[in-house]
Amino acid sequence: MKRTLLVLALSALAFGAHAEDTLAKIKASGTISLGVRDSSALSYTLGNDKYVGFHTEMAERIIGDLSKAVGKKLETKYTLVTSQNRIPLVQNGTVDLECGSTTNNAQRQKDVDFAYTTYVEVVRIAVRANSGIKSIKDLNGRSVATTTGTTSVQTLRKNERAQNIDFKEVYGKDHADSFLLLESGRADAFVMDGSILAKNIASSKNPGDFKIVGEELSVEPIACMVRKDDPAFLKAVDDSILRQIKDGSLAKLYDKWFMQPIPPTNRSLNMPMSEATKAAWANPNNKPMEDYAKK
Amino acid sequence: MPSLDWPVFCRDTLSGEQVAGCFASGRDQTYLQWMLQAWGWTVTVSLSGLLVALVLGSVIGVLRTLPDSPWLVRFGNAWVELFRNIPLLVQIFIWYYVVPRMWPAMQSINPTLLVILGLGFFTSARIAEQLRSGIQALPRGQRYAGMALGFTTLQYYRYVLLPMAYRIIMPPLTSESMNIFKNSSVAFAVSIAELTQFYYQVGEETGHQREVYFGVLALYAVSALLVNQVMGFITRRLRVPGMVMAGGAGGH
C-alpha cells in the first residue's frame, strides 16, 4: 500500500509539472540550457564545444539580459540539438531556449512558443556549378538531397506534386551530411534554407565548385523557441530582442556574421539583409510561415 | 496523459487532410502508406543482409576450424577481428563514403546494396564465431570418424560436422536474425528511407511524436517476433531425436 502511494505520488509529480515557470527555474539553478546547432549559418560549431553564429551570439546577449531580469548571473549550458529532436527537447525541459534555424509555422506553434522573428529565410537549391541546373524544373529525374526533420522536406514534396516533376529524394541526417551527399556526387542538388547553403559552401574545400540557383521555393521566418504556456519567459526574451533591435546591436551582429569573414575558413557569406528581414525587425512579430506565404 | 491521436496516420502527406479508408490513390499518399513502404525497406535490407551474413559467416566459420591450413585459419581470424571490432555505424559509413572514393567503380553501386553488404559483413563475423563454437562443441572423434570413413575435408564437414553444428547453434542464430532487424536502423544514417528515418521525419513533420513512435515500435516488434517464430519452426522441423542439442529440446 505504501509503495503504491509512493509510485502514485511520483507519477503525479511527473505529470503535474507542465505549466512551468522557466524564469523561476533558471533563477533557482543559476544555469540556462541553450539549444544550438552544428552546421547552420545562424548557429554552428567550431569543434571543441565552441558554438558560434548570428543566432548563438544573439542568444548569449538575450541570456545577459535575462541575468539582469532575474538578478543573478546565469551560466549557459550549450546543448547541441538536431532538426529531429529540437522540439521534443524544448517540450520536455532539457532545453530552455533554442536559437538556431527553426522555422516558425502553425504546426509547431501547437507544441512550442516562438519569440519575435529575427531572420527571414528563403529556401533555394545548391548545385555543382557545372551541372547546368538552373531551376526546380531542371531537377526532373535527378536526385535531390535535403535534411530529415526540416520544413524543406515538405516544401520539396509540395513542389514535386504541384509542378508535376519527379525526382528522387535522398535524406541526410543533418545539414553537413546532406551537403556531403551533394559534394560526393550522390545527390545532384541540395535544397535547404539559403543561409545554410551559403554557410556549407563557404566552409567546403572548393567553394567555387558550387552555386546557389533557382527561385525561392519557400519563405520562412526563423525565430527562437521556448516552452509553450510560459508568457513571462517569452516576454523576457522578446524584450531582449526588442532592445537589441532598437539600440542597433542586432544590426551590427548581422553585419559581423553575414558580411564579414567568419570562422572556420575566414570567408564571408556576403549576404546583405533581405527586405523581409528588415521588415520583420521594423515590426517585431511572431507570425507563422503560412502568413508569409499568403502574400 | 493526453490521449493519442491515432487518425494522424490517415492524413494525406501533402495536404494534411484525413483520407477516408486510410489509403490514398494515385500520387497521393497517407502516412500509413509511407510507414508500410518504410517497413518494406527495413525488411528488404534486413533479409538481404541476413542472407549475405549466413553465406559469408558459414564460410568463415568453417575456415576457422580447418585442421591443416594455418593460413586459412589466420585469414578467418583476421576477418572476424576486423568486422567485430569496428562499430556497425562506422562500418556503414566506410562502405558508403570511403569505399567509393578509393575504388571509383563502386560509386555507381546502389546505396541500398552497400548497406546490405555492410550489415551482412558485420553480422557474418558474429555468425562465423557462433558456427565455430558449434563445430568445436562436437567431440573430436566425429572429425576423425569422418576421416576414417574416407571422406575428404569438404565431405566430412558437409555430411558429419555441419549438420550437427547448425542444429546446436539454432538459438544464437535466432538471436542474430532478430538482431539484424534491429541493426538495420543504422541504414537511416546513410539515407535509406526505412522505419527509423520515417520516425524522425514524420514525428517532426506532424508533431505527433508519440503516435509515430508507437507505430514504428509495433512494426519492429512484429518483425522480430515473426523472425523468432519462423526460426522456432525451422528448429522444430530440423530436430533429430536422440541428438543432444545445447539448451535442450524446445527451449523456446
Architecture of domain B37-194+214-238: Orthogonal Bundle (1.10)
Q: Chain A window 63-92: which residues touch B at a Cβ cutoff of 8 Å? A: 83-84, 87-88
Cβ neighbours, 10 Å, residue A247: 10
Classify each residue of A61-75 as buried b or exposed e, where b means 16 or more C-beta atoms within 10 Å of its C-beta.
bbbeebbebbeeebe
Is the pLDDT at B198 greater than 60? The verdict is yes
Residues A290, A235 share a domain: yes
Residues A230, A214 share a domain: no
Amino acid found at B136: Q
Residue B241's φ and ψ, nearest 5 degrees, are -60, 135
Determine whether the interchain pair A110/B207 forms a contact, defined as Cβ–Cβ distance below 8 Å: yes
Classify each residue of B12-44 as buried b or exposed e, where b means 16 or more C-beta atoms within 10 Å of its C-beta.
ebbeeeebeeeebeeeebbbbbbbeebbebbbe
Q: Each residue of A283-292: pLDDT tens digit?
A: 999 899 888 8
Check whether the bond before A264 is cis (ω within 30° of 0).
Answer: yes
Residue B185's φ and ψ, nearest 5 degrees, are -65, -20
**The model's pTM:** 0.81
Structural domain range at position A171: 122-220
SS3 state of residue A286? coil
Instruction: Name the more confident of A11 and B104.
Output: B104
**Boundary-marking domain end, from A197, A220, A243:** A220
B201 has a chain A CB within 8 A of its CB = yes
Residues A33, A96 share a domain: yes
What's the pLDDT score for residue B246? Answer: 47
Q: Each residue of A93-131: pLDDT tens digit?
A: 999 999 998 999 888 998 899 999 999 998 999 999 988
Cell of B113: 546494396
Highest averaged pLDDT of the listed ranges A264-273, B10-19, B104-113, B145-154: B145-154
What's the pLDDT score for residue A64? Answer: 93
**Residue B190 DSSP symbol:** G
In whole angstroms, give the CA distance from residue A59 to residue A43.
10
CATH of residue A76: 3.40.190.10
**Boundary-marking domain end, from A190, A220, A250:** A220
Residues A126, A88 share a domain: no
Residue A157 lies in a domain: yes
What's the pLDDT score for residue A41? Answer: 85
Q: From B1, which residue of chain A is nearest by alpha-carbon distance?
A: A15
- Beta bridge mates, B18: B11
Residues 6+ apart with CB under 8 A from A11: none
What's the pLDDT score for residue A47? Answer: 86
SS3 state of residue A75? strand
Residues A113, A141 share a domain: no
> How close, in Å, is residue B18 to chain A by CA atoms?
16
Instruction: Name the more confident of A92 and B16.
Output: A92
Cell of B246: 545445447
In whole angstroms, give the CA distance from residue A178 to residue B193.
14
A15 has a chain B CB within 8 A of its CB = yes
Vertex B189 angle, CA A222 and B100, to 5°? 120
Is the separation of the CB atoms in A37 and A149 below 8 Å?
A: no
Is the pLDDT at B201 greater than 60? The verdict is yes
Cell of B250: 524446445
The residue with cell 551474413 is B53
Q: Chain B window 106-135: which residues touch A at a Cβ cutoff of 8 Å? A: 107, 111
Is the pLDDT at B248 greater than 50? The verdict is no
Residues A57, A80 share a domain: yes
What's the pLDDT score for residue B174? Answer: 95
Q: Which of B33, B92, B106, B201 to mutate to test the interface with A (most CBs of A within 10 A)?
A: B201
In whole angstroms, give the CA distance from residue B200 to residue A94.
18
Residue A14 lies in a domain: no
CA distances for B119 relative to B184, B190, B231, angstroms: 7, 12, 20
What's the pLDDT score for residue B244? Answer: 65
Q: Is B87 exposed, middle or buried (0-12, 13-18, 19+ CB in 10 A)?
A: exposed
Residue A111 lies in a domain: yes
Q: End-to-end CA distance of chain A, in Å?
A: 62
Lowest mean pLDDT among A15-29, A35-49, B62-76: A15-29
What's the pLDDT score for residue A17? Answer: 45
Residue ranges per domain, chain B?
Answer: 37-194+214-238
Residues A126, A114 share a domain: no
In whole angstroms, give the CA distance from residue A70 to residue A24.
8
Is the pLDDT at A11 greater than 60? The verdict is no
Cell of A100: 538556431
In whole angstroms, give the CA distance from residue A181 to residue A210.
13
Give the count of domains, chain A: 2
Mean pLDDT of the residues in chain A: 88
In whole angstroms, give the CA distance from residue A259 to residue A274.
13
Cα of B159 vs its chain's centroid, Å: 27
- Beta bridge mates, A213: A125
SS3 state of residue B137? coil
Residues A188, A133 share a domain: yes
Is the separation of the CB atoms in A160 and B13 below 8 Å?
A: no
Is the pLDDT at A227 greater than 90? The verdict is yes
Q: Which of A109, A167, A171 to mutate to test the interface with B (most CBs of B within 10 A)?
A: A171
Cβ neighbours, 10 Å, residue B172: 19
Residues A204, A127 share a domain: yes
In whole angstroms, give the CA distance from residue A192 to residue A153.
9
Q: Give the confidence band of A238 by pLDDT, cuts at 50, 70, 90.
A: very high
Residues A282, A247 share a domain: yes
Residue A12 lies in a domain: no
Cα of A136 vs its chain's centroid, Å: 24
Vertex A55 angle, CA A49 and A56, to 5°? 25
What's the pLDDT score for residue B160? Answer: 92
Residues A178, A212 share a domain: yes
In whole angstroms, give the CA distance from residue A216 to residue A224.
23
Vertex A101 angle, CA A292 and A20, to 5°? 95
Q: From B210, which residue of chain A is nearest by alpha-carbon distance?
A: A88
What's the pLDDT score for residue B76? Answer: 96
Q: Which of A105, A108, A148 to mutate to test the interface with B (most CBs of B within 10 A)?
A: A148
Give, to the nearest 10 degrees, the angle between helix B31-63 and helix B195-206: 150
B197 has a chain A CB within 8 A of its CB = yes
